[in-house]
Structure 1
Amino acid sequence: MKQLIGMLLLLLTLSSCNNKQEKKGQPEVSRTVGNATLLVDESFHNVIDDQITVFNSDYPDAHFKVINGGENKILPTFLNDSVRVIVMSRVLTPEEEMIYTKRSIPVFTSRFAIDGIALITNNSNPDSTITAAEVISILKGTSTSGKSLVFDNAYSSTLRYFKEMAQIKDLPKKGVYTLNTNADVIKYIRENKTFIGVVGVNWLLQSQDGDRGAYSNQVKLLAVKNLPGKKGDDAFYKPTQNHLISGIYPFLRNIYIINAEGKQGLGTGFANWLVSQRGQLIVLKSGLGPHKYTSREFNLKN
């Protein structure tokens, strides 16, 4: 009996050693180690780049591949299961989420920031304000002001946001135009004095270097008054951080990270990081509205 027990212990020891040797050749995967690919709405790539930089300072064995693009360009890649983590300004529709449900893969959605959509114009334009009603009338093609809107591209979340707000499916033949990138919008507004550009606040705040900075210094923000009966209908507000946090600026949108990783991998770890206290401080530093705003209290003693 003692010999039999000894043989069993020897076999278990050898099996354990073999398993360790097999695992030794495989890369470690956890919430802070490994590789992850992220699909990111190009309007938000600046704040995601900042988050990754700080995340990597704490976890150097975390490696990210970021694919930036317009919302309608990157979403199909997420839905066909090629990449399972996406950052965009809306949640999945029930039909879209059902695609993963049929695969028995859970989908976790977390809001981690509040972005604003800024309206910009040339510095020489005498206008400094605009109403949400006027913006809607331009989108519907009923405006008589002669003003025109310029968007980054036809596939962007920014354009989708305004089409939904105006309750239109198609753009009018005149008054609304699309280019290719946010940088193109700023350049166009710099060179055309009567147009209004539409860009994300996050992109605008962090595009002050190089050529983009030279263009952005020659444009100005328009203050916006909301529709009657809605918050922000009492005055004209610019998309400052305080106005994003208070919700008083009319054109607000949430930023979500949607994770269908289906395991405790790096994508899951990064999604949790974004809503952590440190991740939220990075959002606050970026000029956006954090999902969780923690006030700082000071104890003053004589």
Structure 2
Amino acid sequence: MGYFFITVKKLVLLRLVFFGIVAFWSCNNAETKRAQTIVSGKVEVVADETLLPVMEEQVAVFEHLYDRTNVELTSAQENQIIRKLLNKEVEVAVLTRQLTEQENQFFKARKFTPRVYKFATDAVAVIVNKQVSDSVITLDHLVKIMRGEKSTGSLNQLVFDNPNSSTVRLLKDLAGVDSLPANGVYALKSNLDVLKYVYETPQSIGVVGVSWIVRPDNGTKKYVEGIKVLGVKGREGEPAGGGYYKPSQSNLADSLYALARPVYIINAEPRKSLGMGFAAYLTGESGQRVILKAGLLPDSIPPRELIIRK
């Protein structure tokens, strides 16, 4: 008889434990489902590597404002990001161009159109070692190097972050070439590598995203202090061709800098989720303030608050 009651007690206990686990799992599962909103949950964002510093700041501020969010930020080269989007490996991306008609066909085949929002204007900075006496350069000079032509002066070695990067694509488009020349142009692995190379090689010209040099962190500060940014003269007949201009926000606003480019967030989520919330943040006042502090041009200038003291 005693053995019977002990067995019954064990069965009751096991059932209680089982239903407790089920209830706990159900609550957690329901909470996870509830958490996937435009202001909570988890999203993976892949950004153009030239924009990584400013996007790291954006994610830090966004997660501080919305503490139930988790933005997993990674960076890659432009071609890699496009491939990830088309293969559905990632749904939210930050690029310096919109999708082409051919790329959009992949989404049209799925009967879906990604949402695209412009939230900034970036500048591609042209840098040299501080020991170099030159302080300006022409776009024509850069184009000649990209075409493999001989150009005057001592600065004839152009260094990029990666052969598949957005900066290479920009200069290739301006030069009207499909590939890099055999001599005079070199591609490394990252923007940080370009900073290091120019720091150590006085005869080189580096091409980097401006956010890498405006607010350098401890890992890049040494190299940024050893380089300088050149003023760039654009093509004749264009606003940027009237003088030599540096990649400042005022020059970007007045279309005076020849190597400016738009920045977009592309949201390919098929549902209303955190990607939409992150895009709204980037285009809103808080996100635009981060853009302003990072040296890029915000798509909408945040209002300034004046405190008048009596």
TM over 0.5, yes or no? Answer: yes
Q: Give 3-state SS (helix, strand or coil) of 1:110's partner.
A: strand
Deviation at 1:143, TM superposition (A): 2.6
1:180-195 paired onto structure 2 within 5 Å: 180-195=189-204
For the residues of structure 1 that align with 2:183 and 2:134, how far apart are their CA atoms?
Answer: 20
1:45-64 paired onto structure 2 within 5 Å: 45-64=52-71
In 2 relative to 1, CA 221–24 (structure 1 residues): closer, same or farther, beyond 3 Å?
Answer: closer
Q: What code does the residue aligned with 2:85 have?
A: F
Deviation at 1:171, TM superposition (A): 1.3
Deviation at 1:178, TM superposition (A): 0.7
For the residues of structure 2 that align with 1:298 and 1:186, how far apart are their CA atoms?
Answer: 38
For the residues of structure 2 that align with 1:114 and 1:225, how far apart are their CA atoms?
Answer: 18
In 2 relative to 1, CA 45–299 (structure 1 residues): closer, same or farther, beyond 3 Å?
Answer: closer
Number of aligned residue pairs: give it: 283
Deviation at 1:23, TM superposition (A): 3.5
In 2 relative to 1, CA 102–151 (structure 1 residues): closer, same or farther, beyond 3 Å?
Answer: same
For the residues of structure 1 that align with 2:286 and 2:158, how far apart are their CA atoms?
Answer: 37
Residue by residue over 1:255-301, the C-alpha shift from the partner in whole angstroms, topping out at 9 and shown as x without a partner, is 10000102110011101111011211111111110011245486989
Of the three residues 94, 104, 108, the one matched with 1:87 is 94
Partner residue in 1 for 2:184: 175
Q: Give 3-state SS (helix, strand or coil) of 1:31's partner.
A: coil
Of the three residues 229, 238, 241, the one matched with 1:230 is 238
Deviation at 1:193, TM superposition (A): 1.1
Q: Which runs of 5+ in 2 are unaligned?
A: 1-25
Which one has a bigger Cα radius of gyration?
A: 2
For the residues of structure 2 that align with 1:179 and 1:25, how far apart are their CA atoms?
Answer: 42
Verify: 1:275 aligned to 2:299, yes or no: no
Residue by residue over 1:11-55, the C-alpha shift from the partner in whole angstroms, topping out at 9 and shown as x without a partner, is xxxxxxxx9998457452110111101111111121111111111
Q: Give 3-state SS (helix, strand or coil) of 1:114's partner.
A: strand
Q: CA RMSD in A?
A: 2.1
Verify: 1:159 aligned to 2:162, yes or no: no
Deviation at 1:208, TM superposition (A): 4.2
Residue by residue over 1:83-103, the C-alpha shift from the partner in whole angstroms, topping out at 9 and shown as x without a partner, is 111101000001111111111
1:1-302 paired onto structure 2 within 5 Å: 23=30, 26-145=33-152, 147-210=156-219, 212-294=220-302, 296=304
Q: What code does the residue aligned with 1:249 have?
A: Y
CA contact (8 A) 1:35 1:63 kept: yes
In 2 relative to 1, CA 173–46 (structure 1 residues): closer, same or farther, beyond 3 Å?
Answer: same
Deviation at 1:162, TM superposition (A): 0.5
TM-score (norm 1): 0.88
Identity across matched positions, percent? 35
For the residues of structure 2 that align with 1:268 and 1:223, how far apart are their CA atoms?
Answer: 38
For the residues of structure 1 that align with 2:148 and 2:247, how far apart are their CA atoms?
Answer: 25
In 2 relative to 1, CA 295–245 (structure 1 residues): closer, same or farther, beyond 3 Å?
Answer: farther
Query: 230-239 or 137-146: which moved more?
Result: 137-146
Deviation at 1:139, TM superposition (A): 0.7
For the residues of structure 2 that align with 1:26 and 1:300, how far apart are their CA atoms?
Answer: 47
CA contact (8 A) 2:48 2:76 kept: yes
CA contact (8 A) 2:63 2:71 kept: no
Q: What code does the residue aligned with 1:157 have?
A: S
